[in-house]
Amino acid sequence: MAKPIVLTSIGYYLPGYKAGGPIRTLANTTECLGDEFSFFILTSDRDLKSDEPYPSIKPGVWQTVGKAQVMYLHAAKQNCWHWRHWLKRLDYDVLYLNSCFAKSTIQTLILRWLRLVLPKPVILAPRGEFSPGALSLKKRKKSLYMAFSKWMNLYKGIIWQASSEYERLDIINTMNDTNLQIIIAPNLVLSRSITTTVTFKESGSLKIAFLSRVARKKNLDYALQVLANVCGNIVFDIYGPLEDIAYWQECQSIIAQMPTNVKVSYLGEVPPDQVMGILSEYHLFFFPTRGENFGHVISESLRAGCPVLISEQTPWKGLEERKAGWVVPLEKTQQFQAALQTVLEMDNATFQEWSSGARAYGEQVANDPAVIEANRALFLTALRQNEQRIDM
């Protein structure tokens, strides 16, 4: 029996990595469920902010990447009518859209509203875009689009994927509708063994990592401002692609005025397979993000034995009671400073307890069979809608 076909669009995909979590989420989904569903992925032929296409791909043809079939398209082939062409050529069972604000999603929903594509079930995953922090960025532009899309009724009959109860509430609040069909299917994490470093911790010294895209949403400037008011010897290393150069220049201005006890370095981009190894060398991952629907790098830091200090704008909660990290509201700057001071003053024995707690919790989340089942149920629900449509 042929496997059901899931046609999905995403702005960027493997071998790219600069767009962060959504790439890894979809790659993990195809890896975990690719034996049950046939995933066909339409995406860009280059990475985020890159002028050059991937050298290892053939644009415009389906090719195998992991357990999925991927077609890489040049920007000129991603307009509305080309998109309609690709959507009509494949007899898919479910359409899976990643991001509410991506051009491919907007084009697809308009084509669907115009009845110019097959009337198949649609799953839409906002990927954290509806968190208050994320919506506050480019607020006017997003508000205008959301008003337009609601007025056009573009979301009629779709299934929403929320990665957590928190994102479910964000979707309801953003859409101002309690009758939406929302299925909670947490982001999948692939459990894999790595070689990590057992990092020694001296009281009075602290080695901190920030690993993410350098963009306003990730809140690096806030992290720097908090660190400027912490006493002790601090090394703060920044990793990640410089997505927003103007924002990075703002951060550099703050770095230039940092006190001498805080040594800040930018150490470039990190391929995904090296992230956990690098984070295992630090005492803390500091990530006061404005909004994440999951945060793969948080999961990787925990599994690497590196406790985390994060904002409340993620689904990760209850870290302190597990001795895995701290979750602090963004408006509580002094609480961030207090948490940093606590880690700075830890001796090695205490830090190793927290490192073990972080690793244990990270592995617990990564090996949760209920997460795979929830994602399987997401696609099966959409397939049942397709069967009901055919039977009508």
Q: Confidence band (pLDDT; 50, 70, 90) for 392?
A: very low
Percent of the chain whose pLDDT exceeds 90: 72
**pLDDT for 139 beyond 80:** yes
Dihedral angle computed from the Cα positions of residues 123, 128, 129 and 132, in that order, rounded to the nearest 10 degrees: 130
Is residue 273 in a domain? yes
Does residue 200 belong to any structural domain of this protein? no
In a domain, 118, yes or no: yes
Q: Does residue 70 sit in the same domain as residue 161?
A: yes
The amino acid present at 367, given as its one-letter code, is N
Residue 259 has pLDDT above 60, yes or no: yes
Please indicate, yes or no, if residue 284 is contained in any of the structural domains. yes
Same domain, 162 and 18: yes
Same domain, yes or no: 45 and 68 = yes
Both 353 and 373 in a single domain? no
Say whether both 40 and 88 belong to one domain: yes
Residue pLDDT, tens place only, 141-194: 999 999 999 999 999 999 999 998 989 999 999 999 999 999 999 998 876 666
Is residue 250 exposed (0-12), middle (13-18) or buried (19+ Cβ within 10 Å)?
Answer: middle
Residue 275 has pLDDT above 90, yes or no: yes
Compute the distance between CA of residue 159 and CA of residue 182 in angstroms, rounded to an integer: 6
- 46-93 pLDDT, tens per residue? 998 888 999 988 888 999 999 999 999 988 887 777 788 888 888 899
Number of domains in the chain: 2
Please tell me the predicted confidence (pLDDT) of residue 91: 86
**pTM, to two decimals:** 0.85
Do 252 and 162 lie in one domain? The reply is no
Q: Are residues 95 and 41 in the same domain?
A: yes
Asked if residue 197 belongs to a domain, the reply is no
Q: For residues 310 and 356, state if they share a domain.
A: yes
Q: Are residues 345 and 382 in the same domain?
A: no
Residue 263 host element (H or E)? strand 262-266
Same domain, residue pair 175 and 261? no
The two structure tokens encoding residue 215 = 């963009």
CATH number for position 59: 3.40.50.2000
Q: Does one domain contain both 227 and 166?
A: no
Burial class (CB in 10 A: 0-12, 13-18, 19+), 359: buried
Average pLDDT over the chain, rounded to an integer: 92
Which domain range does residue 213 map to? 205-366
41 confidence band (pLDDT: 50, 70, 90): very high
Same domain, 350 and 376: no
Reported as type and span, the H/E element at residue 38 is strand 38-44
Is residue 199 situated within a structural domain? Answer: no
Name the residue type at position 370. Answer: A
The closest alpha carbon to 241, from 263, 264, 262, 220, belongs to 220
In a domain, 271, yes or no: yes
In a domain, 198, yes or no: no
